[in-house]
Amino acid sequence: PGTLLPRLPSEPGMTLLTINIEKIGLKDAGQCIDPYITVSVKDLNGIDLTPVQDTPVALRKEDTYVHFNVDIEIQKHIERLTKGAAIFFEFKHYKPKKKFTSTKCFAFMEMDEIKPGAIVIELYKKPTDFKRKKLQLLTKKPLYLHLHQTLHKE
C-alpha cells in the first residue's frame, strides 16, 4: 500500500512541498512487476533528512510509461533543508526469478529545482548514488521522471 505520510502542519513563513509523481518513462515499462518509487531526502553525505516514503504500486503501465499520479508530502519545511540536500526518487520493481525487489534506476532533484509547476528530471543507472559523485544516465534515449510541484506557504 505504500508508506506515504501526511502533510506537516504549516508554520508561518515556512514552505512545504508536495510533489505529484505523474509518470516515469522506461523502454521496458510494460515488463515491470509491481513498480513503485521510494522517495527520500538526503544531504550531501547521503544521510536521510526526512523519513523515507514508498509510493503505492503504480496505477497502470502504458507504452513506455509507468503511471503513478501520487502525491508525496516532503516531511520538512524547505527552509530547514540543509544546503546541498536533494530529493531522491528510486524506481523499484519485483523480480520473480530472483524473488526480490530491485532498484532499476533513480532520479533526484536539487534544491534549486524546487519551484511550483511541472518538471522532468533525468534517470540515472543504479546503484543509487546519494552522494551524487558518479552519475551515469540510464540510457541515451530521452527518458524522464515527470513530476509536478506544489509549494504551500502560510
d(Cα 58, Cα 45) in Å, to the nearest integer?
A: 30
This prediction has a pTM of 0.96
Q: What is residue 124's predicted lDDT score, i.e. its pLDDT?
A: 97
pLDDT tens for each residue of 30-79: 999 999 999 999 999 999 999 999 999 999 999 899 999 999 999 999 99
**At 18, is the pLDDT very low, low, confident or very high (cuts 50, 70, 90)?**
very high
Q: What is residue 141's predicted lDDT score, i.e. its pLDDT?
A: 79
d(Cα 12, Cα 111) in Å, to the nearest integer?
A: 21
For residue 68, give the C-alpha cell.
503513478
62-65 LR contacts (CB < 8 Å, sep 24+): 62/29, 63/29, 63/30, 64/25, 64/26, 64/27, 64/29, 64/143, 65/23, 65/24, 65/25, 65/26, 65/29
User: 35, 52, 26: which is closest to 124 by C-alpha?
Assistant: 26
pLDDT tens for each residue of 82-140: 999 999 999 999 999 999 999 999 999 999 999 999 999 999 999 999 999 999 999 77
Does 4 have pLDDT greater than 90? yes
Q: What is residue 154's predicted lDDT score, i.e. its pLDDT?
A: 79
d(Cα 6, Cα 72) in Å, to the nearest integer?
A: 8
Q: What are phi and psi of 96, to 5 degrees?
A: -65, -35
Q: What is residue 24's predicted lDDT score, i.e. its pLDDT?
A: 97
Calculated CA dihedral for residues 11, 52, 59, 107, nearest 10 degrees:
100
Q: Which domains does the chain have, with CATH numbers?
A: 15-153 (2.60.40.150)
E-strand ranges in 26-139 read: 33-42, 53-54, 60-62, 65-73, 86-95, 100-110, 117-122, 124-125
**At 143, is the pLDDT very low, low, confident or very high (cuts 50, 70, 90)?**
confident
